[in-house]
Structure 1
Amino acid sequence: MTGDLLTWPDLVKRPRPAADATIAYGPDQMQKVDLWLPAGKGPHPVVLMVHGGCWQTSVADRSLMDWIAADLRGEGYAVWNIDYRGVDRAGGGYPGTFADAAKASDQIAVHARKYHLDTRRIVAVGHSAGGHLALWLAARPRLPKDSPLRTRRPLKIAHVVSLGGLPDLEATAASPDNGCGIEVVAKLVGAGRDDPYRDTSVPRLLPLKVPQDLVNGREDRIIPYRMATDYFAAATASGDRVQLHTIPATGHVELVAPESAAWAETKRLIAAAFAAP
């Protein structure tokens, strides 16, 4: 460990749990979903999980979420842990990365009967760049009508929990101190398009009309804390129900470590989201 904060090696060196099924939704090796199924006949409440990694396949894939996915499985949730092509992969960037996340999520409805999934209330949980994508997935009904990313019947998401997310892509592109750098954003949004943020950056799509919880480490050295507070202010001003949960003595890795205080808080929020009327 470095100081009192977890590092990525601290997380990934531990024994890795295994998913119950892997489902392909396209021909690319990244176009896959891991399904974690709890014991029992179901129907199982579903957590849609979205990994981070700066929107780059070479940085991270869905396996980074294995430990928290297994933890949620043990708590009785089905976890739909999606992967997608990053901007550094053929077909990634705009619109591919977004289209992959959307198609992977929509597959929940396709496979719900086979795996006894309860699709009435789906909670999305995303970490880092995945926090952006989880919020964006909830915002799909708000996409401009002429956007190529708009689809007729997007998966309905009831609640989003963003863990150290980067929802505002314009702010991210203007912040050299963000841990992903600024060049990656241009590849993600399709630089050179007319107003490339209008169907990609979450603040442009507010209000989402979906409850949101933001969980952020106060000592996060990868994602500047102001990205949480600024988005919280914008989302709240739009009329959305948003809460910001600041976890002390917590960095970026702790947000997806099952033994952490941040993850305990996230599980509390997930349970509350499923229990909401």
Structure 2
Amino acid sequence: MTAADEETALLGLAPVAPDRTVAYGPHPDQIVDLYGTWAAPGAGAAVPGPPVVLLHGGFWRAAYDRRHLSPLAAALAGRGLPVALAEYRRVGAGGGAPQTFDDVAAAIGAAATAAAGGQRAAGGVVLVGHSAGGHLALLAAARPGTPVARVVAVSPVADLARAHELGLSDGAVAALLGGGPGFADRLAAADPARRPPAGVPVTILHGTDDPDVPIGLSRRYAAGCPATTELRELPGVGHYAPVTPGTASCDALCALLRPPGST
């Protein structure tokens, strides 16, 4: 399957409606879609296992939203996982730094609270991010007081400085952070490779043939954080197959997230 075929296969899937949607702010994009079994509001009972919070990619731009990951959210829920598919403000629609980063943190908190029926989830959440969502996942896990217990980053923009040097997606990093004075400081503050999450285990899945986010970014990140990071390279795989249900590389992702006691 070529890179173009992978993109067509994922974007050709019909979106799957969530079981419930919760808002974490007043903006239309400040919402989290819930799939699978969740605690009823006010029940105070925890979900069956650590909830999975999904963060979509699209190089942080408003042109790309969460709907292309809804089939993955539904597939994971079908395997017994409570899944929260988060939306957030993006560049071109009220997002960018720091709004996008603040939204992701708030969405994770909303999912953790929903997992316990209005209480704070004791076991934390498993954060799964694809592409730019992988960058956001790694960055969010480094925040003080985060409820993130584990990160699985899929084809992530894990080294923001290198992504900027390469000019990925027509200068998407500069668009995210804004130009002008202070850019270097903003870049350093938003780069997971410069501030990895302390004590949070990270697994990276990345295809060796990814044309959108070169695997070299993940290799650089893993080399800099060997104690907490496991890099799993997917030979011959591009950018989209790992988050496309029905592919072998998506099966590998699902296996990483398999709930305790499942087969």
Identify the TM-score tier after normalising by the shorter chain.
Answer: 0.7 to 0.9
Tell me the CA shift for residue 221 of structure 1: 1.1
Larger deviation, residues 65-74 vs 9-18: 9-18
Unaligned runs of 5+ in 1: 142-153
Q: What one-letter code is carried by the residue in structure 1 that aligns with 2:14?
A: P
Partner of residue 199 from structure 2, selected from 198, 206, 209? 209
Q: TM-score, normalised by structure 1?
A: 0.83
Look up the SS of the partner of 2:114 in the other structure: helix
Give yes or no for contact 2:54–2:83 (8 Å, CA) kept in 1: yes
For residues 81-125 of structure 1, give each alpha carbon's deviation from its aligned partner in whole angstroms, at most 9, with x where no partner exists: 1111111212x1111111111111111243233389954142110
Count of residue pairs the alignment pairs up: 253
Tell me the CA shift for residue 49 of structure 1: 0.7
Give yes or no for contact 1:44–1:118 (8 Å, CA) kept in 2: no
Give yes or no for contact 2:112–2:125 (8 Å, CA) kept in 1: no
Q: Which residue is 1:52 aligned to?
A: 57
RMSD: 2.4
Structure 1 pair 127/156, CA: closer, same or farther in 2 (3 Å)?
same
Q: TM-score, normalised by structure 2?
A: 0.87
Q: Does 1:263 align with 2:250?
A: yes
Give yes or no for contact 1:94–1:190 (8 Å, CA) kept in 2: yes
Q: What one-letter code is carried by the residue in structure 2 that aligns with 1:174?
A: E
For residues 133-182 of structure 1, give each alpha carbon's deviation from its aligned partner in whole angstroms, at most 9, with x where no partner exists: 011111112xxxxxxxxxxxx43211111100002211111013x3x232
Q: Which residue is 1:151 aligned to?
A: none
Partner of residue 137 from structure 2, selected from 107, 131, 134? 134
Larger deviation, residues 199-208 vs 109-118: 109-118
Tell me the CA shift for residue 15 of structure 1: 3.3
Give yes or no for contact 2:47–2:82 (8 Å, CA) kept in 1: no
Matches within 5 A, 1:159-170: 159-170=150-161
Identity of aligned residues (%): 32
Q: Which residue is 1:148 aligned to?
A: none
Q: Which residue is 1:87 aligned to?
A: 91
Q: Which residue is 1:144 aligned to?
A: none
Structure 1 pair 95/42, CA: closer, same or farther in 2 (3 Å)?
closer
Partner of residue 181 from structure 1, selected from 144, 163, 170? 170
Q: Which residue is 1:36 aligned to?
A: 35
Q: What one-letter code is carried by the residue in structure 2 that aligns with 1:271?
A: R
